[in-house]
Chains A and B, each alone.
Chain A
């Protein structure tokens, strides 16, 4: 079946550092890929998405590129802020109604 693997956290960075959170997936066909963010005490919010190979999703300074050859969708941001501290989830949808989530990666940004 489909699966999503994320790097384990927590990831601790200083403000203005470069962020990469790795995400790889296993799926047949051509899934859509998503990054969701969960701030403390809240539900998940869609951060960005990509629906086909080589698409780049971007939002709030975050980017991720759908790489079919490496089955990856790594999340990047050039300069993180304290307000980016949250848990980040990679997910895929493979032509159905359901999302398959990775385990989540906690990001902590220190001033």
Chain B
């Protein structure tokens, strides 16, 4: 049981380049999430998807787009990377209510130069 997987683990981009971060879960969860974690800070929600076919903005959506490809997969795209997007990105999926606990992937460390 792999849980939540993310690719790539590390990425270096130049300003203006684009890339897509991939996330997949094998726990049959409806809800999936993308967070970013900056040094010395907690996690901030970028986008989430409550179910297949739906996506909603979180706290810091600017500069990002998402796609919920199917129930398993939820991708995050940076169309034109900026140094301010240097961060560690985590994908998560969650158990339905009442439990609501989230399971996290190992993260993608992104550096934009």
Contacts and interface: CB of A to CB of B under 8 A. Distances in A.
A-B complex is real? yes
Interface of A: 32, 34, 36, 42-46, 49, 51, 89, 93, 95, 97-99, 101-104
B13 interface: no
Contact of A43 (B31, B58, B100, B106): B106
Contacts of A32: 98-100
Contacts of A99: 100, 102
Contacts of A43: 4, 90, 104-107
Given A42-B106, A97-B100, A98-B45, 4 more contacts: A43-B106, A89-B42, A101-B43, A103-B42
B101 interface: yes
Contacts of B31: 97
B94 interface: yes
Contacts of B101: 34, 46, 49
A46 B92 CA distance: 12
Interface residues of B, number: 24
A46 B94 contact: no
B74 interface: no
B107 A46 contact: no
A87 to B, nearest CB: 9
Interface string B13-46: 0000000000000000001010000000111010
A25 to B, nearest CB: 14
Contact of B42 (A45, A97, A104): A104
Nearest to A99: B102
Contacts of A101: 42-43
B104 to A, nearest CB: 4
B112 interface: no
10 contacts: A32-B100, A44-B90, A45-B104, A46-B103, A51-B98, A89-B42, A97-B31, A98-B58, A101-B42, A101-B43
